[in-house]
Amino acid sequence: MNALRRTIDKIKPHVEKGGKFHFLKSTFEGFETFLFVPNTVTTTGSHIRDAFDMKRAMITVVIAMVPALLFGMWNTGYHHFLALGQEAAFWETFWFGFLRVLPIIVVSYAVGLGIEFVFAQIRDHEINEGFLVSGMLIPLVMPVDVPLWMVAVATAFAVIIGKEVFGGTGMNILNPALTARAFLFFAYPTKMSGDRIWIAGMDKGMETVDGFSGSTILAQAAQGKETFVNGVGEAYTAWDKFLGIIPGSIGETSTLAILIGALILIVTGVGSWKIILSTFAGGAAMGLLINAFGGNVLLEMPFWEHLIVGGFAFGAVFMATDPVSGSQTEKGKWIYGFLIGVLAILIRVFNPGYPEGMMLAILLMNVFAPLIDHYILEGNIRRRLKRAKAQA
Amino acid sequence: MSEVIKIRKGLDIKLKGRADKIFMKAPGSATYAVKPVDFPSLTPKIVAKPCEEVRAGSVIFYDKYRPEIKFTSPVSGIVKSILRGERRRIISVVIEADGKDAAENFKKGDPASMSREEVVENLLESGLWPVIKQRPYGVIASPADKPKAIFISGFDTAPLAPDYDFIMKDQEQDFQAGIDALRRLTEGKIHLGLDARYPAAKAYTQAKHVERHYFSGPHPTGNVGIQIHKIDPINKGEIVWTVKPQDVAAIGRLFQTGKYDPSMIVALNGSEVKKPVYYKLLRGAEISSITKDNLSGDHVRMISGNVLTGRKVEEDGHIGFSDAQVTVIPEGDYYEMFGWIMPGLKKFSVSRTFLSWITPNRQYALDTNLHGGERAFVMTGEYEKVLPMDIYPVALLKSILVDDIDKMEQLGIYEVIEEDLALCEFVCTSKTPVQSILRKGLTDLRKEME
């Protein structure tokens, strides 16, 4: 450790202002602070500080995503071999998925962090940790067959247009990872929806067993199918849907894995339990409402099933809870989450164009979050004025 | 006991090295200092010249913009030096004590039978007026103002805070005389906030002409700002004054003896102190008079005040004017490898991202490491958990950062000073300098108002 520290101290002068490699200062700092928590001491205000910092916050979110990621890898393999009609052992299944998912993660991080490094240097800032989370979220909301160049383009779009033009992490209006997904969804719709993209290899012309279909549950529901079946025609049980043995974006299928992540976020206090709970509550409320009317398969799908299929759970736990793009007041979080839940089901059920509404619901509420906060603050201001008047 | 105001939000930071309840007489300090930096927004005008002889109560400097507010020497001696910092700003005026008890004479008598003007003048002349602070802004009160009420918090909940019930022992008479003097200054009430969890000192329970309020809850419950917010919050245009308990007693002694008596009881504590106890000393004493040969580490930070709001003091520095505690903690200028992922059993955090949350009663020897770099506001809901006020602190800070005076007022900047938001700064993931931002806002606002 000391040797490493010495090496870093030796390099340091070269990247400081006036040094030959000053253009790498932010990058150097990024790596240095990754290796060592800096020796900065407090100079103003409180002499002691909480040990918690942005790196730890972001890493905690990444850790919370690991169950969904690991399951997604296995699920990728499972559906691939299902489509091929082959039996595969657990590790073989996982390994296949691992190799398919890893490049997407690598591309997402490489492109995103690369851009972050450049912007940090231009602004003469330290590198922000925000992308550690976005970089993992982006692969998890991609279909596994997405071309890597698209991941790269979408990531670049999300980081530059979604975040850096607003001033970087903390200033953005929309969730960057969802911006990336929305970008692909509207720019390359055929690569982001349909029956073929969810199964590894299928979109690239892999030979499948006869009659195999890679459609998601929501797609089947939109087509009006009464029972939802997997690729080879077996009906899904409720457990299949909850555990996530269904086609979908890499990380979104397993409600169980996502709930483990939710537990990590809530226990550590990094994610807002209020948003998670109210999003599910909003979804359930809307689900009950449409159940009461009925009329087609999506309308009659039991409300709880709406919460465990598609991207609902993933969005509620990992996307809606983004503190920057979400509501920032505690009261506002209840409203914000609830409306996401309601809108997600609403779009899902009534908009024939999009089989899944979670992405659009969250992006829409991202835009409205400042408005919600505005009214909460206005309420506070009015209370204070009223108190002053009562005194006078 | 009357109704207890229960406060839930807040945070008690459990630090090692709480002072034992023993009084020690501090060895005499060779020099004493009067420091303009102890008073926010003060521009001093120096009266005393180097090598000039002064007595206890002689004027050292006064407020340039309110010349009636004077600052006086705590002891008899000669002015040794005037220390200046950046742009020749005066840091402190150091007086070498000569051990004599030559003291200026002020008015003596029962304040209850004096007029407001007489009381005010006696306080101004003796140099005790600066113990009276005003809200908004947290600056020294203006003698011409008629405050809505005067608030005294009888206890302190800050990390390693001294026990005022112990400090105020046997000060019943002084405290009452102080209250009597303060009564002349306001037509409103004098509110005394007490800790409902412990039996209060006699000085508090026997005090007449005060309205007692009982509180229970974690820090910052003991902050007078929180108590004002719960009892009778400050509205735009209103002024209230606050005084600390020992300063009330000092005012009482002035009227009883006719002398400026700068005695203070100060708790010396912190993880780096060998024998943490309470000391009796005089305002502005050398910090080394109590820390010498009493520290276990040599790479330490000495703080006059508590770890959240106190001021860093160099080895040859002096204790602050109204500080009732000195805290010594380790400096934290070390690198920690992969600190962001380590389990952190010895790290303190309000988040449960460190394993230390499974041992909630553990006491910590926290150091001055910032634990990360400064970032934009990202996390939400952190500040609100440690601020028991109906205020949105992040919105308030943002309004200060964009210089929006109207918004600051609307969001309640009048009700807070640095100490009230100190815990927000402690918990902040983005390491935002909350207290200095708030002070900037208060200074800007005050300029705008005048």
Cα end-to-end span (Å), chain A: 65
Task: Identify the residue among A9, A52, A63 best suited for mutation to test binding to B, counting B beta carbons within 10 A and taking the highest.
Answer: A52
CB contact under 8 A, B353 and A35: no
A184 and A71, same domain (yes or no): yes
The strand pairing partners of A37, in sequence order, are: B336
Q: Does A301 touch chain B (CB under 8 A)?
A: no
> Which value, to the nearest 10 degrees, does the dihedral of the CA atoms of residues A383, A386, A392, B2 take?
-50
CB contact under 8 A, B412 and A384: yes
Cβ neighbors of A27 (< 8 A, separation 6 or more) are A117, A120, A121, A127
The per-residue pLDDT for range B254-284, each reduced to its tens digit, is 999 999 999 999 999 999 999 999 999 999 9
Domain limits for position A337 = 272-381
Split into its structural domains, chain A has a count of 2
A180 and A64, same domain (yes or no): yes
Nearest one of B386, B159, B108, B370 to B261, comparing CA atoms: B108
Task: Identify the residue among B228, B331, B351, B387 best suited for mutation to test binding to A, counting A beta carbons within 10 A and taking the highest.
Answer: B351
Q: Does A46 touch chain B (CB under 8 A)?
A: yes
For residue A58, give how far its alpha carbon lies from the nearest alpha carbon of chain B (Å).
10
Tokens representing A15 are: 């990247």
Residue whose tokens read 């405050």: B147
Please determine, for residue A99, whether its predicted confidence score (pLDDT) is greater than 90.
yes
Q: Is A176 helix (H, G, I), strand (E, B) or coil?
A: helix
CB contact under 8 A, B309 and A46: yes
- The Cα A317–Cα A64 span in angstroms is 10
Q: For residue A217, is it within any domain?
A: no
CB contact under 8 A, A330 and B308: no
The DSSP call for residue B56 is B
> Which residues of chain B does A269 touch, with a Cβ-Cβ cutoff of 8 Å?
350-353
**Sheet of B139-140, strands arranged across:** B4-6, B211-216, B190-195, B150-153, B240-242, B133-135, B139-140
pLDDT band at B412 (very low <50, low <70, confident <90, very high): very high
CB contact under 8 A, B331 and A5: no
Beta strands B70-72 and B44-46 are: unpaired
Q: What is the pLDDT of residue B356?
A: 86
CB contact under 8 A, B335 and A39: yes
For residue A242, give how far its alpha carbon lies from the nearest alpha carbon of chain B (Å).
28
Please determine, for residue B357, whether its predicted confidence score (pLDDT) is greater than 60.
yes
Closest chain A residue to B356, measured at CA: A51
Sign of CA dihedral B421, B423, B426, B431: negative
Q: For residue A92, is it within any domain?
A: yes
Residue whose tokens read 């943490």: B276
Q: Does A51 touch chain B (CB under 8 A)?
A: yes
Q: For residue A163, is it within any domain?
A: yes
> Which residues of chain B does A54 touch, with a Cβ-Cβ cutoff of 8 Å?
372-373, 375, 378, 429-430
Domain ranges within chain B, ordered by starting residue: 4-257, 370-449
For residue B319, give how far its alpha carbon lies from the nearest alpha carbon of chain A (Å).
16
Integer angstrom CA distances of residue A354 from A280, A360, B322 = 20, 9, 66
Residue from the list A48, A130, A168 with its beta carbon closest to the beta carbon of B368: A48
Q: Does A175 touch chain B (CB under 8 A)?
A: no
Q: What is the pLDDT of residue A287?
A: 95
Cβ count within 10 A of residue B86: 6
Q: For residue A350, is it within any domain?
A: yes
> Quick one: what percent of chain B has pLDDT higher than 90?
86
A138-147, A310-319, B325-334, B343-352: segment of lowest average pLDDT = B343-352
Q: For residue A60, is it within any domain?
A: yes
Task: Identify the residue among A46, A55, A125 best suited for mutation to test binding to B, counting B beta carbons within 10 A and taking the highest.
Answer: A46
Is the peptide bond preceding residue B245 cis, with omega within 30 degrees of 0? no
The per-residue pLDDT for range A22-38, each reduced to its tens digit, is 888 888 888 888 888 88
As a whole number, mean pLDDT of residues A218-232 equals 86
Q: Are B285 and B32 in contact (CB under 8 A)?
A: yes
- The Cα A50–Cα A57 span in angstroms is 12
CB contact under 8 A, B351 and A57: yes
pLDDT band at B1 (very low <50, low <70, confident <90, very high): low
> Quick one: what percent of chain A has pLDDT higher than 90?
64
| Contact map slice: A 268-297 vs B, CB within 8 A | 268-270, 272
Q: For residue A365, is it within any domain?
A: yes
Q: Does A35 touch chain B (CB under 8 A)?
A: yes
Report chain A's C-alpha Rg in angstroms. 23
Tokens representing A340 are: 């996401």
CB contact under 8 A, B235 and A391: yes
As a whole number, mean pLDDT of residues A158-176 equals 91
As a whole number, mean pLDDT of residues A210-227 equals 86
Please determine, for residue B192, whether its predicted confidence score (pLDDT) is greater than 90.
yes
Residue from the list B307, B309, B341 with its beta carbon closest to the beta carbon of A59: B341
Q: Are B413 and B445 in contact (CB under 8 A)?
A: yes
CB contact under 8 A, B390 and A383: yes
Q: What is the pLDDT of residue A37?
A: 85
For residue A85, give how far its alpha carbon lies from the nearest alpha carbon of chain B (Å).
42
**Residue pairs spanning A and B at CB distance below 8 A:** 208
For residue B41, give how far its alpha carbon lies from the nearest alpha carbon of chain A (Å).
16
> Quick one: what percent of chain B has pLDDT higher than 70?
100
pLDDT band at B133 (very low <50, low <70, confident <90, very high): very high
> Which residues of chain B does A324 touch, with a Cβ-Cβ cutoff of 8 Å?
378
> Which residues of chain B does A385 touch, with a Cβ-Cβ cutoff of 8 Å?
410
> Which value, to the nearest 10 degrees, does the dihedral of the CA atoms of residues B333, B334, B335, B336 take?
-120
pLDDT band at B2 (very low <50, low <70, confident <90, very high): low
Q: Are A35 and A7 in contact (CB under 8 A)?
A: no
CB contact under 8 A, A270 and B436: no
CB contact under 8 A, A39 and B333: yes
Please determine, for residue A12, whether its predicted confidence score (pLDDT) is greater than 90.
no
A196 and A300, same domain (yes or no): no
Cβ count within 10 A of residue A206: 15
Closest chain A residue to B309, measured at CA: A46
From A205, A227, A257, the end of a domain falls on A205
> Which residues of chain B does A391 touch, with a Cβ-Cβ cutoff of 8 Å?
235, 238
A198-207, B45-54, B78-87, B124-133: segment of lowest average pLDDT = A198-207
From A205, A233, A248, the end of a domain falls on A205
Cβ count within 10 A of residue A16: 11
Cβ neighbors of B325 (< 8 A, separation 6 or more) are B19, B160, B161, B162, B266, B267, B268, B269, B305, B306, B310
> Which residues of chain B does A49 touch, with a Cβ-Cβ cutoff of 8 Å?
369-371, 425-426, 428, 431
Closest chain A residue to B374, measured at CA: A126
From A157, A184, A205, the end of a domain falls on A205
> Which residues of chain B does A170 touch, with a Cβ-Cβ cutoff of 8 Å?
375-378, 430
Q: What is the pLDDT of residue B251?
A: 97
Q: Residue A183 is inside which H or E element, if any? A: helix A176-187
Integer angstrom CA distances of residue A65 from A166, A294, A333, B196, B314 = 26, 35, 22, 45, 47
The per-residue pLDDT for range A345-386, each reduced to its tens digit, is 999 998 877 778 899 999 999 999 999 999 999 999 999 999
Q: Does A168 touch chain B (CB under 8 A)?
A: yes
Phi then psi for residue A41, to 5 deg, are: -115, 165
Q: What is the pLDDT of residue A384?
A: 93
Nearest one of B293, B290, B294 to B275, comparing CA atoms: B294
Is the peptide bond preceding residue B433 cis, with omega within 30 degrees of 0? no
- The Cα B52–Cα B36 span in angstroms is 19
> Which residues of chain B does A272 touch, with a Cβ-Cβ cutoff of 8 Å?
380-381
CB contact under 8 A, B312 and A51: no
pLDDT band at A163 (very low <50, low <70, confident <90, very high): very high
> Which residues of chain A does B331 touch, with a Cβ-Cβ cutoff of 8 Å?
41
Residue B49: Cβ-neighbour burial (10 angstroms; 0-12, 13-18, 19+): exposed
Q: Is B268 helix (H, G, I), strand (E, B) or coil?
A: strand
Nearest one of B45, B220, B135 to B445, comparing CA atoms: B135
CB contact under 8 A, B340 and A168: no
Residue from the list B331, B353, B390 with its beta carbon closest to the beta carbon of A56: B353
> Which residues of chain B does A126 touch, with a Cβ-Cβ cutoff of 8 Å?
373-375
A297 and A196, same domain (yes or no): no
For residue B161, give how far its alpha carbon lies from the nearest alpha carbon of chain A (Å).
15
Please determine, for residue A1, whether its predicted confidence score (pLDDT) is greater than 80.
no
Q: What is the pLDDT of residue A77?
A: 95
CB contact under 8 A, A52 and B351: yes
Q: For residue A48, is it within any domain?
A: no
Q: What is the pLDDT of residue B25?
A: 85
Tokens representing A168 are: 């970087």
Conformation bin of residue A124: beta by default, left when phi > 0, alpha when psi is -120 to 50: left
Residue from the list A41, A46, A376 with its beta carbon closest to the beta carbon of B426: A46
> Which residues of chain B does A45 touch, with a Cβ-Cβ cutoff of 8 Å?
309, 418, 422, 425, 433-436
Please determine, for residue B81, whether its predicted confidence score (pLDDT) is greater than 60.
yes
Q: Which residue has the higher pLDDT, A125 or A165?
A: A165
